[in-house]
Amino acid sequence: MEELNRLTAHELIESLSRKEITSEEVISRLNQRIKDTDARVKAYVRFDSSNNPAEQQSGAAALPLKGLPISLKDNICTDSLNTECCSMILGGFRPPYDATVVKKLKAAGALILGAKTNMDEFAFGSSTENSCFGPTHNPWDLECVPGGSSGGSAAAVAGDEAIWALGSDTGGSIRQPAAFCGVVGLKPTYGRVSRYGLIAFASSLDQIGPITKDTRDSALLLNVIAGFDPRDSTSVNEKVPDYTQALLNDIKGIKIGIPKEYFIEGTDSEVKTIIKEALEKLKSLGADCQEVSLPHTEYAVPVYYIIATAEASSNLARFDGVQYAYRSSSRASLIDMYKETRGEGFGEEAKRRIILGTFVLSHGYYDAYYLRAQKVRTLIKQDFERAFNQLDCIVTPTTPTAAFKIGEKIKDPLKMYLSDIFTISVNLAGIPAISIPCGFTKKGLPVGLQILARPFAEEMLFRVAHTYEQNTGWHKMNPRLK
Amino acid sequence: MKAKKDYEAVIGLEVHVHLKTKTKAFCGCSTEFGQEPNSQACPVCLGFPGSLPVLNETALDYAIKVGLALNCQVQEYTKFDRKNYFYPDLPKNYQISQYDLPIAKEGFLDIEAGGKNKRIAIRRVHLEEDAGKLIHKEEISLVDFNRAGIPLLEIVSDPEINSPEEAYEYLTVLKSIIEYLGVSDCDMEKGSLRCDANISLKQKGAKELGVKAELKNMNSFKAVKDALAFEIGRQGGLLDDGKAIIQETRLWDAKLQETVSMRSKEEAQDYRYFPEPDLVPFIISREKKEEIRKSIPELPAQKLLRFTKEFGLSEYDAKILVSSKQDAEYVERLMRAYPREDKKPLVNWLIGPVTALASASNLIISELKIPGGIDELIDLIINTEDGKISNLTAKSVFAESVSTANLASNIIREKNLFQISDASALESEVDAVIKENPQSVQAYQAGKSNAIMFLVGQVMKKTGGKANPKVVQEILKRRLQ
C-alpha cells in the first residue's frame, strides 16, 4: 500500500485487474506522496488536492487503463482544467476542449490529474527554469535542474509523484529531462501522435510522448495515444501496432550505428565512459555495432533555432489580450494593449525567441535564414535516411552532460541551447527516439542513452531499449528523496 | 477634376469572393450569413491555443474550378502560408493564405469594352481564410468571428486594365463566370464579393509605370468605376502640376465621392510569409483536375455564342439575357417552348415588359412570378402576334396578371379584351366617328393624311381599345375615299 506510487503502470494495471488494490488507493497514495515531496521537487503547478481524479471514474470494465492516473504537461489542453504553458500570458486559461491525446486517455479509462506538470514557459528551455511558477528540482539532487522543457513530468515520474506522464518534445524536451531524471522518455515519429490540443511551440517539430518508469509503460502509453487524427492534418494514417509485442529480450544481429559526430569535445568524460559501457553491453547482447557518419550534425542547433523560433513567433502571436487569458490594464490604444499585454505576459526567453523568430522571417532576411535553414534541414534528414539504409537504429548519448545546477546556465542562453545538441536532429528529421537510463555519474546523477530509428519504427526502439533494460536494471534505481 | 495632359491609366484589380461552402475553410463551423454574432465559431476559427486547421476539400475544389474557368494553369503542388499581422479581427494574428504557390496562375478573361474585345491576364487565384468583423460602438469595439475562417478566393489581374469602364466590365464578366460556376453568391452587399484596385498613370505610350495607389472600400462595381475615375483625375492633376504621386492606400468615400489617404508605403506591413506548418502541401492530381473540368457548366461567353446561333438573337440581346445563369437557363427554356421560328417577339417581350416588371420589384426575370408560368407568357405573346389582342392591351394584362396572381388568359376572357378585327363589327363605330368629326374628315380629304390617325384614335376610344387599329384605318380609308 505504502509503495503503490512507486509501481509502474503495467504493475498497477495487473494488481487492479486482480482487484488486489483499488484505483482510489492508488490516487490517495499518489496525493500523499505529492503532498510530502512536491514542496521540494515542485514538479506540479496549481496542485489542488480537492481535484479528485477518482470522480472521473466511468463504468465500463474492460478499459486498458481503467482507474490509472496520469500526469500531463501544462501545455496539453484539458477541458475546463487550467492549461497555461506555465506562462503568465495564459494565466487562468481553461480550454473548452480536450486534446486528442486526453480524449484517447479518457476513453481508455485513464484518470487525468488536475494539477499539471511544470515546464519551461511555452516549452522554451532545457531546465524548467523558464516557468512563471519557478523551477522544478531534480529528485536526484534538489540543487540540480530536472532538464526541460518537460522537467515537471520527468521529475514527477522520477520522484514517484506520478505513475507516468505525458510531455512534449520539440528539440529534446522529453528525452533530455528523462535523461537528467533517470526515466524513460519517448519522442514518437512526427505525425505518430496527434498534436490537436497541444499548445504549439514549433508546429513542424512538436510531438507529444510518454515519460515513464520503464520501456513497457512507454509502449503501453504509446498504444493508447498514437494514431491518425482527422483534426491534425500532420498526423499520419499509419497502422498502430501493439507496441508491447515489440518488447523482446533479444537484439542479436540488430545493426546499431554509432555516429562519430556525437562523441565530440564538450561531452563530459564521465558521460562518454558511461555511454561506451552501454555500447559494450549492447554488443555483448549480440548487437552489431558500427560507426556511422551524420555529416550535417553540426548545423542542427543553428537550423533548429531558426526554424523553431520562426514558427514560435507566429504561433505565439495569438496571445494578444483580445480573446482570452491575460490582458494588461493599459487601455491607451489597441497597439498599447498589445505591447503591454505581451510585454508583461511573456517571460524573458519567450521574448527572446519571438524576436529571433520575427527577425529570421523578416523581409530581406527570409532567404538567408529561414529558407536556408529549411534546406539544411533536408540535408540532415537525408543523413538519417542514408544511415538507416544500412542500420536498424542509431545509439548516442542523450545529453553531453548530466543534470547541471539550477542557475548555472540560465544567464547564458547559448550554453543552454547546446544542452540539446544530441536531441535536436531527431526533431528536424521527424524520426522517433527514446532515452533510457544507462548509468550514474560519481555524484549520483543519471545519464541517458538515446536510441534513434527510422520513421514509424518505434517497435525497434522498444526492442533495443527493453533488452538493454532487462539486462542492466538502471531503470529500477530510485532517488533517495525522503 | 480633369487632367490637362493625356495620361494612360494602368489598373490592376484584386477581387475577393466568399466560396459558398457549407462549412468554413479549416473547421466545421457553418458559413451562413446573418446569424447571431459569434454563434458560428469554434476553437479552430477562434484560434484557440492547441487547435489546428484542417482544409475543407470542397473549398479547394471550388478554387480549382474557378482557376480552370479563368483559363489558369492549376498547380500540381500547392501549399498554404501564414501571413502574419496583428489585428483584433484576426484571431491567430496570422491569416492562412497562399504565397508563392497559389492554386492557379496565369489565366485570362475576355471582356468587351468600348466596342472592342480585350483579353485581361489573370495573375493568380489563391485560397485563404477570411477575418472576423469589427463592430465599433462609441466607447468600445466588438468582434464578430462568424465570418472568420470563411473560405475566400483572391483573384488578381495583371495591370492590363486601362479605364474605369474596362474595370467595370472585367468585374461584371468575372462575377458572371463565378456565379455560373455556382461557387459564390458574389453579393457585394453581404461582403461575399469585394474588390480592391491598384491604379497608376503614365504618359500615353510610355513604357515606364507610374507610382500606384491602392484603392479600397468600394462597395459596388459602380463605386469601383467612380473611385478609379476620381483617382485618374487626382493623379493627373498632380502630374500636371509636376508633383509626385505617393505610393499609398486610399479609401473610397462614397459620400464625398472621393478617395482619402489611409496609409503610406512607409507604414506598409512586413507580413513575414512562411509555409503553414499545420497543413501539409496538397497534390492536385490530373484526374481530379479533369473531373472538376468536366463539372464546369457552359460559361456566359459560350452561352452567348450559342444563343446567337441557335435562337438568332442579336449579340446585344444575348448578352443581356445570359448575364445571370439562372436567367439564361430560364430564357433557354422559353426559347425552346416558344413554338415559332422567329424568336424576336419573345426576345422583345423579355427585354421589354418582363425585365421592366422584374426590375421594378428588384428581381431578375427568372424570379418574376408569372401566373401560369412560361406557358401563359408564351400564349400571351402568340395572341399578340396573331392580332387577337393589341400590344398595348397585352402589356397591361401581363402587368395585371403578375400583380393580381390571376392568369393572363382569365383576365382577357373576363374583360373580353380580344381585339376586334372583324370589319363588319366596327362599321357602326366608324360611321359615328365620321359624323362627329367633320373637320378632321375635311382635313383628311383635303390631303392632310395625318388627320386619319385622330379618327382612328376616336374609334379606339369608342371600342375601349379593343378595335384592331389596322382594320379601323382600312375601313376609314375606304369610307373617306
What's the pLDDT tens digit per position in A57-108? 655 567 889 899 999 999 999 998 999 999 999 999 999 999 999 999 999 9
Contact (CB<8Å) B49/A334 = no
Nearest to B300 by CA among B157, B111, B67, B105: B111
H or E element at residue A393 = strand A393-397
Contact (CB<8Å) B50/A230 = no
Q: Determine the residue of chain A that is closest to B84 in CA distance.
A: A314
Q: What percent of chain B has pLDDT over 70?
A: 98
Interchain CB contact of B94 with A (< 8 Å): yes
pLDDT at A309 over 80: yes
Residue A15 annotated as catalytic: no
Neighboring chain B residues of A320 at a CB cutoff of 8 Å = 86, 88, 93
Helices marked H in A316-470: 334-345, 348-361, 372-390, 413-417, 424-429, 458-470
Residue A131 annotated as catalytic: no
Contact (CB<8Å) A314/B270 = no
CA torsion B276→B278→B283→B287, rounded to 10°?
-130
Residue of A149, A168, A419, A435 marked active site: A149
Contact (CB<8Å) B47/A318 = yes
pLDDT at A51 over 80: no
User: Higher confidence at residue A13 or residue B449?
Assistant: A13
Distance from CA of A145 to the nearest CA of B (A): 27
- The confidence score (pLDDT) of residue A426 equals 98
Interchain CB contact of B91 with A (< 8 Å): yes
**Res. B4 pLDDT band, cuts 50 70 90:** low
**B130, HSE (Cβ side, Cα atoms, 13 Å):** 26
H or E element at residue A259 = strand A255-259
Other CB atoms within 10 A of residue B401 CB: 24
Cα-trace Rg, chain A: 21
**Torsions phi, psi for A225 (to 5 deg):** -90, -15
Interface test with B, best of A76, A203, A233, A234 (most B CBs within 10 A): A233
Q: What is the mean pLDDT of chain B?
A: 88
Distance from CA of A200 to the nearest CA of B (A): 6
Question: Tell me, what amino acid is at A349?
Answer: E
B404-408, long-range: CB < 8 A, 24+ apart: B405/B369, B405/B371, B406/B371, B407/B371, B407/B372, B407/B376, B408/B371, B408/B372, B408/B376, B408/B377, B408/B379, B408/B380
Interchain CB contact of A304 with B (< 8 Å): no
Distance from CA of A238 to the nearest CA of B (A): 16
pLDDT at B443 over 90: no
Interchain CB contact of B52 with A (< 8 Å): yes
Provide the CA A109 distance to its chain's centre, in angstroms. 23
Q: Which of A232-246, B181-195, B349-363, B374-388 has the highest mean pLDDT?
A: A232-246
User: Higher confidence at residue B22 or residue A1?
Assistant: B22
- The confidence score (pLDDT) of residue A55 equals 59
Residue of A23, A127, A168, A173 marked active site: A173
User: Can you say whether the dihedral through the CA atoms of B427, B430, B432, B435 is positive or negative?
Assistant: negative
Residue of A73, A104, A187, A409 marked active site: A73
Contact (CB<8Å) B50/A198 = yes
In the A/B pair of chains, how many CB contacts fall below 8 A?
Answer: 99
- The confidence score (pLDDT) of residue A106 equals 95
Neighboring chain A residues of B84 at a CB cutoff of 8 Å = 313-314, 317, 361
User: CA distances (Å), B260 to each of B213, B227, B340, in order?
Assistant: 11, 10, 57
Residue A73 annotated as catalytic: yes
Interchain CB contact of B272 with A (< 8 Å): yes
Distance between CA atoms of B382 and B346, rounded to whole angstroms? 9
- The confidence score (pLDDT) of residue B6 equals 80
Distance from CA of B212 to the nearest CA of A (A): 21
- The confidence score (pLDDT) of residue B395 equals 85
Interchain CB contact of A8 with B (< 8 Å): no
Contact (CB<8Å) B50/A234 = no
Distance from CA of B280 to the nearest CA of A (A): 6
Q: Which residues make Cβ contacts (< 8 Å) with residue A57, sequence separation at least 6?
A: A23, A67, A111
Q: Which residues in chain A (165-194) have CB-CB distances under 8 A to chain B?
A: none
Interface test with A, best of B272, B273, B279 (most A CBs within 10 A): B272
Q: Determine the residue of chain A that is closest to B145 in CA distance.
A: A323
**Res. B377 pLDDT band, cuts 50 70 90:** confident
Contact (CB<8Å) A234/B53 = no
Average pLDDT over residues B321-339: 85
pLDDT in tens, A106-124: 999 999 998 999 999 999 9
Contact (CB<8Å) A204/B277 = yes
Interface test with B, best of A313, A314, A341, A342 (most B CBs within 10 A): A314
Q: Determine the residue of chain A that is closest to B139 in CA distance.
A: A331
Among the partner-chain residues A77, A97, A233, the one whose CB lies closest to the CB of B280 is A233
Interface test with A, best of B38, B44, B48, B92 (most A CBs within 10 A): B48
- The confidence score (pLDDT) of residue B21 equals 95
**Torsions phi, psi for A374 (to 5 deg):** -65, -35
pLDDT in tens, A323-350: 989 998 877 788 899 999 999 999 999 9
Neighboring chain A residues of B43 at a CB cutoff of 8 Å = 95-97
Interchain CB contact of A198 with B (< 8 Å): yes
Average pLDDT over residues B72-96: 95
- The confidence score (pLDDT) of residue A193 equals 98
**Res. A125 pLDDT band, cuts 50 70 90:** very high
- Find the range with the poorest average confidence among A142-146, A358-362, A387-391, B314-318: B314-318
- The confidence score (pLDDT) of residue B455 equals 87
- The confidence score (pLDDT) of residue A95 equals 95
Interchain CB contact of B83 with A (< 8 Å): no
**Res. A381 pLDDT band, cuts 50 70 90:** very high
Neighboring chain A residues of B278 at a CB cutoff of 8 Å = 200, 203, 233-234
Neighboring chain A residues of B82 at a CB cutoff of 8 Å = 314
**Torsions phi, psi for A295 (to 5 deg):** -60, -25
**Torsions phi, psi for A361 (to 5 deg):** -95, -5
Q: Determine the residue of chain B that is closest to A324 in CA distance.
A: B48
Interchain CB contact of A354 with B (< 8 Å): no
Distance between CA atoms of B355 and B369, rounded to whole angstroms? 12
